[in-house]
Structure 1
Amino acid sequence: MTDKLKSVPSVSVSYASNGNSTKANALGMRPMQERAYERRGEQYLLIKSPPASGKSRALMFVALDKLYNQGLKQAIIVVPEKSIGASFNDEPLTKYGFWADWTVQPKWNLCNAPGEDGGKVNSVGAFLESNDKVLVCTHATFRFAVERFGIEKFDDRLIAVDEFHHVSADPNSRLGQHLGQIIARESAHIVAMTGSYFRGDAVPVLAPQDEAKFDTVTYTYYEQLNGYEYLKQLDIGYFFYSGPYSDDILKVLDPAEKTIVHIPSVNSRESTKDKIREVEHIIEELGEWQGIDPATGFQLVKVADGRILRIADLVDDDASRRDRVSAALKDPAQKNNRDHVDIIIALGMAKEGFDWIWCEHALTVGYRSSLTEIVQIIGRATRDAPGKTRARFTNLIAEPDASEESVTEAVNDTLKAIAASLLMEQVLAPRFNFTPKNPNSGPVEGFNYGEGGYDPRKTNVGFNEQTGQFQIEIKGLAEPRSKEAARICTEDLNEVIAAFVQDKTTIERGIFDEELVPEELTQVRLGKIIKDKYPELDEEDQEAVRQHAIAALTLTQQAKQIALGGGIVGDGEQSGNTALIDGVRKFAMDVRELDIDLIDRINPFGEAYSILAKTMSEESLKQVAAAIAAKRTSLTLEEAKELAVRAVRFKKERGRLPSIGSTDAWEKRMAEGAAAFVRFKDEGRYE
């Protein structure tokens, strides 16, 4: 069966497997937990760390210190759904060297209590009046409790919010509004935890003035995976299919790999509208059905080589059967049994907080509009487990059908899938620290500058394998001046890049506009996104953030292009753990001098198009390009204004205005934009 498996064009990120992220210190803390504990005195703490990095236990350490050493009365742990409440069950922390154990009285873990969230509010009230220390409840129960008792009842308490990306600054988000009020009152402590701090929509998680109050602990995917003991390689790719997906799924589903298949929502374009039949079809394609295991409810299927696959069907509409399967998957006695189950088929389940360490392949059918959801799904496959050296995520997407009356929806799905892939490449890469190249520049301790070492005559690229960080010198790079801008450049570049790659106009033009002048995206479009996202920053700091963000995105894409083109990475081949690092170094060497003007002149979406061309049929690719070309519009007032601002900056630097007759495409575009802006003013359309 595996001989017909399709090679999926993918980015492959490989890791050193040095075991660091799984080693504990004298207090029983892994590196991320130790990092969080060092900040335990902060009133508002945000922990950004991947799935499986130990956020739950990090919170236990911090909460115990706040309860016993910082004078807080109680800790309330708030989780998005009941199943995640188990992450905060009792832990004998003293057994591993800590000074106290984590205990939750059974009656105060409301995730285990029967009844609806609204009915559990009385229990929250009773807890607040008690002398007990810890309560665990859902986001919904907490919202109802705040509405019933008022925010002042939560004074002098720790509110710990797990999966914090569920919060939103949108006025319609009650949880977001309640947290905003608690922060404004300044009488409670908050610890926020998330594996992905960008939402799928454009609404920020917190209002900027609230976010600025949080001290951030960031533990990157690269640090996490680099420090694993077994997992060495993670591949991310997308594959296009035509016709019903269930006919093509065996081209990317390898029955020899432990796999979670997420089938599409019944409301999506990819769905056949009969989810039960879809599951049956996948099972039929895999092999010969042998019946149901009476103990677990797993489907038993005999494959061509004689093996019996154990398949967990979480799509079944019969609640009793589905609950039996779900309970079998959660059986703690089977946690370390690799043979317990082989394939899990799910629809809305087995994502956030689902822990199956043996998962090697997360196969998702249909694009997911939420980047957060994709990060969570990938997180199912990035657990470390004995003998598991490689994991992969595949997004199976429907090709735009030329026979359809409208391809708009299909084009949108395709672009969103590409945006997710671009962002995940960024999330999984080592962290970039950019510094301007100047006469005083020198090597930074702990960084390896490659063959020949640091060269003071050129721009250098250093890499620290232990911390998973690049140190990259760029000529002409603007440095952030304010503390907040510096924080964004250090901690939040992925959030900026997420907003950029999710911008529909940006990605459409970046991939399909043959006449594109890259600076229109890298300077104008990204500049506007940053102004909208960080209005409190002054112009110089906004420009510094823009330069750092576009440098990070472009260097990752250029490194990927070199790696794929040079055979360093690609099509799932084992590649050694230096592919991306080598790609960044090679790009820096090939251009001789890294400068910000050069980076701005590169279309960061060029490599996405080349991968698209490998996996989509030529007819569909032309169809998508034509659909986007048909929408091309003239300059908007806002775009003309931004180009005019860039033209003024050009004049300051060169002593002349940009020329409309210039052979340089960007200079010509600035001149056109400035002229258009003058016309808008003359017509009275700009005050």
Structure 2
Amino acid sequence: MTKSIPSVSVTYAQNGASTTSNELGMRAMQERAYERRGEQYLLIKSPPASGKSRALMFIALDKLHNQGLKQAIVVVPEKSIGSSFNNEPLSDYGFDYDWTVEPQWNLCDVPGGDDGKVGAVGKFLESGDRTLICTHATFRFAVDKYGIEVFDDRLIAVDEFHHVSANPENKLGAHLGQLIARDRVHVVAMTGSYFRGDAEAVLSPEDESKFDTVTYTYYEQLNGYEHLKTLNIGYFFYTGSYADDILAVLNPTEKTILHIPNVNARESTGDKHKEVDHIIDALGTWQETDAVTGFHLVKTPAGKVIKIADLVEDDPTKRERVSAALKDAKQKNNRDHVDLIIALGMAKEGFDWIWCEHALTVGYRASLTEIVQIIGRATRDAKGKTHARFTNLIAEPDASEGAVTEAINDTLKAIAASLLMEQVLAPRFNFTPKTPTTTAEPGFEYGEGGYDPEKTNVGFNEDSGQFQIEIKGLAEPKTKEAERICQEDLNEVITAFVQDKPVVERGLFDEELVPEELTVMRMGKIIKDRYPELEEGDVEAVRQRAVAAMNLTQQAKKAVLDDEENEPSANTALIDGVRKFAMDVRDLDIDLIDSINPFGEAYNILAKSMNEESLRQVASVISAKRSPITPDDAKVWAKRAVRFKAENGRVPSMTAADPYEKLMAEGATAFMKFRKEGKYE
């Protein structure tokens, strides 16, 4: 198996801030969310394990006791997640009220199908009780049966909000749209990944603009942990059967959740049970099955007996026993309860095992959202747990296969997940246009020598985990919605960009690529499609910031790797890298940032970990797929050409040495041709 090369490695300060409670028993994220408790529509974007469930309890109780709402309905994607909203004696920690749910209204625990549970929702709405918990499905059926008016003056709290979609086919999204249009409910939406694996928008732009957003970043969460210090994320390749080579990445001394591939995946052997048996054989000698937990006891060659929970088992009696043992609240703080969990479709969203040090996934999963959820299983803070990692194990495409381009799709998706996680894990970027009047921001530290009014500066505020970065030529957003997108949605824009298959293919494998084809053209088009109401100037302001955020993260990583003499201190590596890149160029300006291929560093990692012949073959296939200039593209290039003429006193030349100038000239020529052909109204 190829040597493991992490594509993302982040180290944090362990300052304990995110796990410390205030006098009301609220941790940092919960306190931030509670400050916005008066908002009618609230969106909480916060990582796994940051305490979203309890944040909702605080907000819901205030809405019920102080804001005049009748009832709170908590909606979760699956029954197992309902336990996150069990009774909590919050007054024991300083809050005014306790969170209580009567047993008959926790519909995630009530036996029976959705029909009976929909009836229970109706009874609850007529009762004097205040809180109900049900699944997304039960809520959808209840809205179908009773209409939306019956939910007036109530709080609807939607957990794992990324399950909602603006697509009319998505029933939960459609119902939510109707409730928001009627404007008689309060909504609290919670998610650790505010994007969908299918690249659909979660909410329509007009609905989204009504939400007040509370963002608590992964950086704040992990930096504020007490124990976990480093997080590594990587995609690695193997040949043959993954089960033969599994021990190259599966360390039996690490607490691990292993997700084996779906039976239809390229990586699957087609027999999931044999794969589990093979993995157990590779780890050591099977001893027995524990009568109480159903865990397999396996003796490793080192003489240690490890406990393995098999959630792939089809026998419902056996699987339920194992599942119940994993959920046993008495064992939550027992590190030795289990060592390895083998799963296929389970142990992902909402699964809570604080001791997990390694999330190992074989084959690409259904979506980026799923990958983010799986990574979240390993990012819990626990005593003695200093390191965590996520590994995506992928079958290397065979260069001799005819379908080599199809085989590379998994690789492209894994790289996209890696790039996205790198962005998600980084501190927050705030960008400012550099002008003669720009000054230092209070609370930000500007590195050796401090703030320089003659240059573009990079400031960092360690307490808030935010960068302040000055860029020449940066367009300012003109509307409130564009400001909101620049503040809150850059990662969602970058997600759509890295989910765009042609973008990743060209960025990684097209040797003749002019970076602006991606950074200007594709990114601009993605933003226009995602936010169709935005004016052109606002599209440009969002585009520039999304490209800058992605490219600065990538260049920071490169700067750190290249700088062997001056080794940065571990937990400031990314910060030092951004500063180093900013100092190595004369000034940060938007044209420079647009001229960098955002996938350059990802390719360098890929080249180290993938077979050279496969790499070459894929590159030749992708390069042959270049598409001609479309009328829409030509219009954008023509506008760029006009700007070029204004700045340089001449039109761009078809024979220019600069490929970007050449591209503008080709685009402007195509625009004239399309206009002559009547392609524009």
* TM-score grouping bracket, smaller chain normalisation: over 0.9
User: Equivalent residue for 1:673?
Assistant: 667
Letter in 1 for 2:339: D
- What secondary structure sits across from 1:363 in the alignment? strand
Q: Look up the equivalent residue of 1:212 and give its one-letter code.
A: S
Q: 1:457 and 2:454 equivalent?
A: yes
Equivalences for residues 76-95 of structure 1 within 5 A: 76-95=73-92
1:649 counterpart (643, 653, 663): 643
1:408 CA displacement: 2.4
Q: CA deviation at 1:483?
A: 1.2
Instruction: String of CA shifts for 1:276-306, please: whole Å, max 9, x gaps.
Output: 0111111111111111111111111111211
3-state SS in 2 of match to 1:45: strand
Q: 2: distance between equivalents of 1:575 and 1:116?
A: 56
- Residues 619 and 559 of structure 1: CA distance in aligned 2, closer, same or farther (over 3 Å): same
Residue of structure 2 equivalent to 1:152: 149
Between the aligned partners of 2:630 and 2:116, the Cα distance in structure 1 is: 53
Q: 1:575 to 1:334 in 2, by over 3 A?
A: farther
Structure 1 position 227, deviation (Å): 0.4
**2-structure distance, mates of 1:281, 1:599:** 49
Distance in 2 (alpha carbons) for counterparts of 1:566 and 1:252: 29
CA offsets, 1:547-596, max 9 Å, x none? 111000000001111223335999xxx97201111111111111131111
Q: Does the 8 Å CA contact 1:364/1:395 hold for their aligned counterparts?
A: yes
Partner of 1:615 in structure 2?
609
Amino acid aligned to 1:271: S
- Counterpart of 2:219 in structure 1 is 222
Compute the RMSD of aligned alpha carbons. 1.5
The verdict on how the C-alpha distance between 1:9 and 1:88 changes in structure 2, with shifts beyond 3 A counting, is: closer
In 1: Cα distance, 2:555 partner to 2:623 partner: 25
Counterparts of 1:213-612 in structure 2, within 5 Å, are 213-566=210-563, 576-612=570-606
Q: Distance in 2 between matches of 1:295 and 1:450?
A: 58
* Kept after mapping to 1: 8 A contact 2:485/2:542: yes
1:667 maps to a residue whose letter is E
Q: Which piece of structure 1 moves more, 327-336 or 625-634?
A: 625-634
In structure 2, relative to structure 1, the CA distance for the partners of 1:221 and 1:342 (3 Å cut) is: same
Tell me, in whole angstroms, the C-alpha distance in 1 between the residues paired with 2:38 and 2:503.
42
Q: Which amino acid aligns with 1:299?
A: H
- 1:81 and 1:331 mapped to 2: Cα distance? 18
Q: TM-score, normalised by structure 2?
A: 0.98
Equivalent residue, structure 1, for 2:10: 13
Question: In 1, distance between residues paired with 2:433 and 2:586?
Answer: 15
Aligned residue pairs total 681
Aligned equivalents of 1:87 and 1:9: distance in 2?
A: 33
CA contact under 8 A between 2:2 and 2:238: conserved in structure 1? Answer: no
Alignment deviations for residues 177-209 of structure 1 (CA, whole Å, 9 cap, x no partner): 000000000011100000000111121111111
Find the residue that maps to 1:624 and give its secondary structure. Answer: helix
Alpha-carbon distance between aligned partners in 2 of 1:648 and 1:450, rounded to the nearest angstrom: 39
Q: Which residue of 2 aligns with 1:190?
A: 187
Distance 1:345 1:211, change over 3 A: same
Distance in 1 between residues matched to 2:473 and 2:589, nearest whole Å = 6
CA distance in 2, matches of 1:240, 1:563: 25
> Alpha-carbon deviation of 1:648?
2.3
CA-CA distance at 1:641 after TM superposition? 2.4
CA distance in 2, matches of 1:239, 1:602: 26
Q: Distance in 2 between matches of 1:444 and 1:642?
A: 35
Unaligned runs of 5+ in 2: none
Aligned-pair distance for 1:375?
A: 0.7
SS at match of 1:193: strand
* Cα distance in 2 between the residues matched to 1:596 and 1:513: 23
Amino acid paired to 1:165: H
**Alignment partner of 1:42 is 2:36:** no
Please, which of 19, 24, 27 is the counterpart of residue 27 of structure 1? Answer: 24
Over residues 299-337 of structure 1, what are the superposed CA-to-partner deviations in whole Å (9 max), with x where a residue is unaligned?
A: 111112111111111001111111111111111111011
Letter in 2 for 1:270: E
Distance 2:364 2:625 in 1: 23
What is the DSSP-based 3-state SS (H/G/I as helix, E as strand, rest coil) of the residue aligned with 2:341? strand
Distance in 2 of aligned mates of 1:620 and 1:425: 25
Q: Distance in 2 between matches of 1:598 and 1:365?
A: 38
Structure 2 CA distance for partners of 1:387 and 1:200, relative to 1, 3 Å: same
Q: 1:461 to 1:19 in 2, by over 3 A?
A: same
CA distance in 1, matches of 2:604, 2:618: 14
With the length of structure 1 as denominator, give the TM-score of the two structures.
0.97
Task: Confirm or deny: 8 A CA contact 1:11 1:569 kept in the other structure.
Answer: no
- Higher mean displacement: 435-444 or 314-323: 435-444
Matched, 1:660 2:654: yes
The 2-side partners of 1:115 and 1:655 are apart by: 75
Residue pair 2:2, 2:609 contacting (<8 A) in 1 also? no
The Cα shift of 1:645 comes to 2.3
